[in-house]
Each structure stands twice: as structure tokens, then as C-alpha cells.
Amino acid sequence: MRIFRSTLYSFFLHSSFVMILLSQDLRYIEYDTDLGSPSMFKARRDSVMAKIGSSAIAVFYSNWERIRNADVEYQFRQDDNFYYLTGFTEPESILLLAPNGVIVRNPEDTSKTMSVKEVLFVRARDPLREQWNGRRYGPEGAMKLRGLEYAATVDRFRQVFQSAMFGSGARIVFVPPFPSDFTGEMAELLQPIRSMIDASKSRHSQTELRDPSPLVYTMRIVKSAEEIVLLTKATQISATAHNQAMMSCQPGMYEYELQAVYEYVYRKMGSEYPGYPCIVGAGENSIVLHYNSNRRQIKEGDIVLADCAAEYHGYSSDVTRTYPANGKFSSAQKKIYQIVLDAQNASIAMMKPGAVWRDVQAKANEVIEDGLFKVGLIKEKGKQEHRRFFIHGLGHPVGLNVHDVGGPILQPGMAYTVEPGIYVGENAAGVDPMYHNIGVRIEDVVLVTPEGNKILSADAPREMAEIEAMMAKKGIGNQPLK
């Protein structure tokens, strides 16, 4: 049972229960042993400071908790750029970078001061709140476990920010756009930023504001070795989930039952979140690109398009598999599926350092146009008629965001999805009805390597014979619940 917190919090605040909590050991515990190293995050912060120069400071802020309804919050997920620079996963936190240094109190002797270049402002330790909502890092934990040079409680942000502004001679302040929906404590904490933004609109302001996001986005395009490990883990989890879903699928199930298989495997293998809402579309829903209500019953003869992937330690995969509900592709399904697979294989073959992403996309369009012409779904080539059925781009970068930042020229360390698709609705004019309600998308995460590329999601089969062989096995999703 979820306990109504606001009433009981007031009660416990005035009881001896607080004294019991205060006497407990309030160490912050990190249970995961494969988090990004503090040195990696430190190198990123140093890189940002080198880019902005000694006449500037930069401020980054975390996401904040949002109410879903009444006393229930949405599951918290950290801001991408904030996480990239800190590895810190708590809300109500602010990072200040001051290349020229800012004066703060020495934590070992508060009567003395010291100059530091980075300060992370975090929530204070609170025994009672930690009893309800889990342990916090606090300033000491942020420094010891996340490797920050200096950390302080968030109530000190205003003072230190003003010191950085006026004491370091900063004329340029890098700060992300102020979110319009900032409310509550986080909005109050960042009031100095809001005031500075308002003042900067005056022609007499001597402070220049810039958005630091493009600087960080540029850094995020090429993944480090540590990032590739985490992205590979997220993708392996996703591939395993697809295999279990294929083995579990059978007519009579509901789309949400397959969704449950995916999400069970994510959690079973250590994923903290889905990378995005799970898409499981059967029959007429297979042609809906971002379908995610997942309530329809799967029927004999349906094709099932499942676009589902896990996130692991901040890094999201993105994998799609399409398979026949009864374990055997029909003749029409085979024809459409093979065109999509051919387009994907031809595109992936082009992915290597120096390749132009636009050319990779053009190859997929060429193969799909040719394939649709051969089976008679389009009557002419060269007139973009195939775009009636291939209605989206070929893919996108992945990383801290499922639709991450990338560049037009492929480099080693870039990770892209390759996801051609063909979607034939039941109202498609001039199309043989045997193709109606067949939606096929095949999506894999492809890492560009110095030698060429590597398909990170290769453990989930793509060839039709391999999919049918996989579906002949039994998975975890169709066992009866007792």
C-alpha cells in the first residue's frame, strides 16, 4: 500500500521516531558496480570549461520531480546533459562550472576558504525523508562517490553563483533555456538565473547569455569506450527481450501480454527504464508508427511489429522486430519483409568511417523503391511513389536519448539505428488486398567502428527462417499464471 506521505510526515517530524533515524548510519550506497567512472565525467566537465574560456561560467540544472496525479510522481529520469557531465541521478541539483575559480568554504575547516572550478549543489541529507524516499548522496557523497571537486547543499547556490558572477569577472554566462514548467522548490532555487535572464534583455546589461547545450551535444556525438559498453548492454537486454517475445507470441494473446514480456526482461536483466513506451502493433496496428496503447488481441494471420528497447544506466537502445503471430510468414508477408531486410542490409553495408548518412538513407530508398516496383505495389520508379509506404527516415543516432545527437559524416564511435519500413494500410489505393495491414520495420543499433561497423543487436534474428525457428521454441510469456 502506498502511504499518504504529507500527513504522516508531519506526525513523524514531531515524534521520537526522528531521533531514531538521526542515530542511524546515513551512508549513501551505490549498488551498481558498472557506473561510469568519476574520471570520465570529470574529463567532460574539464572539456566544457576549456571550451567556454576563463571569462565565462556555466550552469546546468537537473530535471525535477513531476506529479503524475495526487500524491504520485512520475518515475524520475535525469536530464541528459546534466547526467553526461556529472553522472548524478538526483533531482533538484545544479552544476556550476567556473574556469577562473570561485571562492567557497573549506569543508574541512569552514573558517577558511578555497578556490574551486566546479561546484555541484545537491539536496541536503534528511534522515526522515530518506526513510520515506531512499538515501541521498548529500555533498559528501557527491564528492566521494561521483568525484566532484566540491559539493554543497542547494540552498547555497545563490551565494556561490553571485560570487562566481562578480568575483571571477565573468562576462559570459552559459545557461540552458529556463523551462517554462519549472515549479516549486527548483524554480525558487534558480530564481537568480531567471533574474539574470530578465536583466539580460535590457540593452544596458553587461552580461552575455549563451546556451551551453550545443557544446555538450558536440561532445556527445562520438561515444567513448565506457559509453559503448553501456549502450551495448542496453542493446543486448533489448535483443534478449525480443527473442523471448518471439518465442512467447501466439494468436489469442493480447498486445499488452507481449509488452509485459519485454518489460519483464528489461527489469530481470537490470534495466532501470524502458528507452521509450513499448510499441506492439498487431494486424492493422502494425502500420501505426508510434502505436502504444497495446490493447488489441492478436489474431491468426496477423503480423506483429514490436518496437521495444531498454535503457541501461542512462543509455537507450532502439530495436524493432517484425514477426508472424502464428510463427510462419505468409506469402505476402514474406515479400514485404524481404524488401525491408534487403534495404536494411544494403544500408548497413555502407556504414563505415567517412560515409555520408544521406547516402546511406538514399540506398534504403533505392532498394525499397525497386522492391515495391517488382511486387507491383508501385507502378513507376523515379517519382517517389514508394514514399507512400516508406514514410519515415532511415534511422537516427542513439545514446543518452533514444533520438540522440549525431553528425552528417560517420565517424568511429557513432551509433545509429537503421530502421527501414514498409506500411500497407487497408485503404491503400490500387494495392492487392493480400498486402493490407502488413507493417514491417526492422531496426538495429549499428556502431561505426574503425574497420566498418558492428550490429549491436545481432543476437535478435532478422532472417525469416531464423525468426520462424526462434518462434518454434517456448518463451516466458505464455506460461499460465496461477
φ, ψ dihedrals at 283, nearest 5°: 60, -125
Give tens-digit pLDDT for 388-433: 999 999 999 999 999 999 999 999 999 999 999 999 999 998 999 9
Candidates 479, 482, 477; CA nearest to 261 is 477
Give the contacts of 132 (CB within 8 A, at least 6 positions apart): 5, 9
Give tens-digit pLDDT for 46-88: 999 999 999 999 999 999 888 899 989 999 999 999 999 999 9
Q: What local confidence, expressed as pLDDT, does residue 465 receive?
A: 98
Residues in the chain: 482
**Measured between alpha carbons, how far is 374 from 321 in angstroms, rounded to an integer?**
24
Active-site residue, selected from the candidate residues 263, 369, 419, 444: 419
Q: Quick check: do 25-219 and 221-471 share a fold?
A: no
The mean pLDDT value for 112-128 works out to 95
Cβ atoms of residues 473 and 254 within 8 Å: no
Q: For this structure, is 284 an active site residue? A: no
pLDDT band at 6 (very low <50, low <70, confident <90, very high): low
Q: For this structure, is 155 an active site residue? A: no
Q: For this structure, is 25 an active site residue? A: no
Helix axes 38-52, 138-146, angle to 10 degrees: 100
**Measured between alpha carbons, how far is 23 from 10 in angstroms, rounded to an integer?**
20
Give the contacts of 362 (CB within 8 A, at least 6 positions apart): none
**Measured between alpha carbons, how far is 208 from 170 in angstroms, rounded to an integer?**
9
Active-site residue, selected from the candidate residues 136, 388, 396, 462: 396
Q: Which residues of 16-35 are buried (b: 16+ CB within 10 A; e: fewer)?
A: eeeeebeeeebebeeeeeeb
Q: For this structure, is 436 an active site residue? A: no
Which amino acid, residue 114? M
The mean pLDDT value for 457-461 works out to 98
Neighbouring C-alpha atoms within 13 Å toward the C-beta of 113: 7
Q: What local confidence, expressed as pLDDT, does residue 185 receive?
A: 75
Q: For this structure, is 71 an active site residue? A: yes
pLDDT band at 13 (very low <50, low <70, confident <90, very high): very low
The mean pLDDT value for 378-387 works out to 96
The residue that leads in pLDDT, 12 or 74, is 74
What region does 467 belong to: left with phi over 0, alpha with psi -120 to 50, or beta?
A: alpha
For residue 397, the 8-state DSSP code is B
The mean pLDDT value for 459-475 works out to 98
Active-site residue, selected from the candidate residues 71, 208, 359, 426: 71
Active-site residue, selected from the candidate residues 79, 90, 118, 307: 307
Q: What local confidence, expressed as pLDDT, does residue 17 receive?
A: 34
The answer to whether residue 109 scores a pLDDT higher than 50 is yes
Q: For this structure, is 118 an active site residue? A: no
**Measured between alpha carbons, how far is 229 from 314 in angstroms, rounded to an integer?**
12
Q: For this structure, is 392 an active site residue? A: yes
Q: For this structure, is 423 an active site residue? A: yes
25-219 CATH: 3.40.350.10
**Measured between alpha carbons, how far is 72 from 69 in angstroms, rounded to an integer?**
5
> Residue 222: how many CB atoms within 10 A of its CB?
16
> Residue 200: how many CB atoms within 10 A of its CB?
15
Between the alpha carbon of residue 272 and those of residues 62, 142, 228, the distances in Å are 18, 21, 17
On the 0-12 / 13-18 / 19+ scale of CB atoms within 10 A, 72 is exposed
Q: What is the mean pLDDT of the chain?
A: 91
- Ordered by start, the domain boundaries in the chain are 25-219, 221-471
Q: For this structure, is 443 an active site residue? A: yes
Active-site residue, selected from the candidate residues 423, 435, 444, 462: 423
Active-site residue, selected from the candidate residues 66, 171, 194, 392: 392
Fold of 221-471: Creatine Amidinohydrolase (3.90.230)
Active-site residue, selected from the candidate residues 311, 443, 444, 462: 443
Cβ atoms of residues 286 and 437 within 8 Å: yes
The residue that leads in pLDDT, 11 or 343, is 343
pLDDT band at 15 (very low <50, low <70, confident <90, very high): very low
For residue 383, the 8-state DSSP code is S
**Measured between alpha carbons, how far is 224 from 414 in angstroms, rounded to an integer?**
9
Q: For this structure, is 403 an active site residue? A: yes
Between the alpha carbon of residue 260 and those of residues 254, 308, 409, the distances in Å are 10, 11, 38
Which amino acid, residue 410? L
Please state whether beta strands 109-122 and 151-153 pair in parallel, antiparallel, or not at all (unpaired): parallel
**Measured between alpha carbons, how far is 197 from 157 in angstroms, rounded to an integer?**
16
Q: For this structure, is 140 an active site residue? A: no
Cβ atoms of residues 438 and 303 within 8 Å: yes
Active-site residue, selected from the candidate residues 318, 369, 404, 444: 318
